[in-house]
Chains A and B, each alone.
Chain A
Amino acid sequence: MEANYKFTAFILLGLTLVISLIVGLMTRRHDSGGYGIQVRSIGHANIGAAIASNWMSAASFLGIAGVFFVQGYFAFAYVLGWTGGYVLLLVLMGSQIRRFGKYTAPDFVEARYDSPVARAFSAVIAIVISLIYCVAQYKGIGMIFAWMFGIDYTQALVFGTLVVLSYLVIAGALGASRNQQMHYLILIISFVVPLMLIAKKLGYNWLIPQFSYGQALQDLPAKMSSDYLFPWTFGTPYEWIALCFTLMVGTAGLPHVLSRFYTVPNSRDARWGVVWGLFFIGLLYWSAPAYGAFAKSWLARTGTVLDPAAAEAIADIIVIKAAEWVGLHEIFVAILAIGAVLAAISTITGLLVTGAGAIAYDIYYRMINPNANERHLLLVAKGSTLVLAFLILVIAVNPPGLIAQITAVAFALAGNTLFPVFLLGIWWDRANKYGAIAGMMIGTIITFAPILVGHLIPGLRSILPPTSSALIGAPVVILTMIIVSRLTPPPPEHIRRFLVEKVHSP
């Protein structure tokens, strides 16, 4: 047990979390002096770093390398889906959503569709998206803690949950906010520096390992190399395109990505922030497949053979395994592990707070007890955080797939429900509440049918793979919204006027 105890990693992790809290406290004090001026002066690159930091979760840090390790070229569907989605978001909705001026997905839905029912529906969807997203993060934390302490995955998961909740409570009690720029810097350095060292250890160009991993793939035994380089070894063209498209529309419909647009002063800053954000996210996504390639290269060199089940079992921590296998100094392995845990913890805390807020405000206050006071609502939010954390823990004990695959289901739900509701809400004045509710209903069914009844209906999972259902789902939902909206009365005039005068005005 002691041999497995990665003491350096544990100490460094504790230190990083404490430093993060201290910087968060300093940021809070600085901001309170003049938030508006502070935001305006930070520039587009800083807004981009904040977008990237908000985006980078265990799925980016651990998941993509894991999928690449198992599926080679097929993993590019994730890389392109999670970067190309920002083009879709920027081009179709960036400015308009910012001009609409509503801070959360349920706020937008109620303001645009004038319906508390549509609002509640979208709030439930946003909570479920957070829940699925968090399951993937929990898996990452569980696997790293299991590696770090040499304990069983379930025990590590429980310990990880306690760490997350403790961090949340301490940060909440101190009122510390996250310094997004520092957070991004820690994540990207902890990801890229060990990668450079791995490339050097293996004798490849270490200055730009993002490009030299191609050589590592060429050096693999012929069959292994061709499996990795050929596009359709691990999935059909339809599966690749459906997954890529789903992740793209999911990105454009993800509530916590859209909310990021409101923390910037105006729509122009939001637009330019995306360019920088995409560049910063790109730095990570250019690098991630290299971990999978170098890990494979080490296995081939040492003649280690992993059967597919064993490969899949370690895929989600292949980033750390690769560093450990090539014999990187333990401090660098520890840095990698900390980066991954930090990415997961920050995503979980953000999503738990948002999810609990949605339960307390959008569900409890708006639908159950409109007379609740602020103290009461805070209590409900705290209770909801605990319930959500426990629920995620229960699901994460038996994770249904790789981190990236679990996350993709959250994107499928966002792409099948919120994306069409946002898209038509902005670009078609005639879209109304009946259309939105019907669309979200159909979108939810399309997302979960392959998961829940896929084994009963032959061929359903081939047409609607659980991770990739939005290629068919999003157009079907858009069509549903159009038909239902056409058959029912138009939305109120003040909403249509607002769209013309505010949302679509330069």
Chain B
Amino acid sequence: MQQPEEKTAPNREDLRINFFRPRPGFMRKEVTIIWITLSAWALLTFGIPIHLAINHVDPVETLARVPYLLGVPAYFWFSGQFLILWFIFLCFFFNILIDWLSSSYRRRRS
């Protein structure tokens, strides 16, 4: 009776890893944090160029109409200076959350 059970045991074990169907517990929460960070990363990095591509096609009209910041069009300042800060912030934010998640799971485990 014991033999078939031993044979089927590994099959029942869940070894699936899938980013879109994360395992319950640590991985599911980790993937949620990843989604939040990636959304914030993609939205600002590609959102502004997409907005510019749709709404600003003429140089003269664009440069006359857009708001200015530190002597340059706001989108220019945003791409050249702000986004690097944004990336650093996102990495910081991600690390804080993952540190919190890891320590809470390690505590639970011990």
Is A92 positioned at the interface, with any CB of B under 8 Å from its CB? yes
Given contacts A214-B71, A282-B85, contact A506 B106 (CB under 8 A): yes
Closest B residue, CB atoms, query A503: B17
A241 touching B59 by the CB < 8 A rule?
A: no
Closest B residue, CB atoms, query A498: B15
Interface 1/0s, chain A 257-273, versus B by CB < 8 A?
A: 00000000000100110
Q: How far is the CA of A430 from the CA of B97 in the complex (A)?
A: 28
A271 surroundings in chain B (CB, below 8 A): 91, 94-95, 98
B26 touching A211 by the CB < 8 A rule?
A: no
Q: How far is the CA of A264 from the CA of B105 in the complex (A)?
A: 23
B50 surroundings in chain A (CB, below 8 A): 237, 241
Interface 1/0s, chain B 58-79, versus A by CB < 8 A?
A: 0110110000001111011101
A86 touching B49 by the CB < 8 A rule?
A: no
Q: Distance (Å) between the CB of B94 and the closest chain A CB? A: 6
Given pairs A88-B38, A427-B17, A496-B15, 19 additional interface contacts (CB within 8 A): A73-B76, A84-B41, A86-B87, A87-B87, A91-B94, A212-B71, A218-B71, A229-B76, A231-B76, A241-B46, A241-B50, A278-B87, A278-B88, A286-B81, A427-B18, A428-B18, A497-B15, A506-B26, A506-B101
Q: How far is the CA of A268 from the CA of B75 in the complex (A)?
A: 34
Q: How far is the CA of A444 from the CA of B42 in the complex (A)?
A: 26
Is A240 positioned at the interface, with any CB of B under 8 Å from its CB? yes
A347 surroundings in chain B (CB, below 8 A): none
A90 touching B56 by the CB < 8 A rule?
A: no
Interface 1/0s, chain A 59-86, versus B by CB < 8 A?
A: 0000000000000010010011001101
B49 touching A240 by the CB < 8 A rule?
A: yes
B98 surroundings in chain A (CB, below 8 A): 95, 271
B91 surroundings in chain A (CB, below 8 A): 86-87, 90, 271, 274-275, 278
Is A323 positioned at the interface, with any CB of B under 8 Å from its CB? no
Q: Distance (Å) between the CB of B9 and the closest chain A CB? A: 12
B37 touching A76 by the CB < 8 A rule?
A: no
Instruction: Please provide the chain A residues from 189 to 221 with a CB less than 8 Å away from any CB of chain B in the complex.
Output: 210-212, 214-215, 217-218
A493 touching B84 by the CB < 8 A rule?
A: no
A73 surroundings in chain B (CB, below 8 A): 76, 79
B80 touching A76 by the CB < 8 A rule?
A: yes
B63 touching A493 by the CB < 8 A rule?
A: no
Q: How far is the CA of A289 from the CA of B23 in the complex (A)?
A: 45
B95 surroundings in chain A (CB, below 8 A): 90, 271-272, 275
A390 surroundings in chain B (CB, below 8 A): none
Q: Distance (Å) between the CB of A142 and the closest chain B CB? A: 29
Instruction: Please provide the chain A residues from 252 to 300 with a CB less than 8 Å away from any CB of chain B in the complex.
Output: 268, 271-272, 274-275, 278-279, 282, 285-286, 289
Q: Distance (Å) between the CB of A93 and the closest chain B CB? A: 10
A76 surroundings in chain B (CB, below 8 A): 79-80
Given contacts A73-B76, A229-B63, A230-B59, contact A504 B41 (CB under 8 A): no
Q: Distance (Å) between the CB of B5 and the closest chain A CB? A: 18
Q: How far is the CA of A272 from the CA of B92 in the complex (A)?
A: 8
Q: How far is the CA of A214 from the CA of B74 in the complex (A)?
A: 11
Instruction: Please provide the chain B residues from 7 to 43 with a CB less than 8 Å away from any CB of chain A in the complex.
Output: 10, 15-19, 23, 26-27, 30, 34, 37-38, 41
Given contacts A214-B76, A229-B76, A272-B95, contact A427 B19 (CB under 8 A): yes
B60 touching A214 by the CB < 8 A rule?
A: no
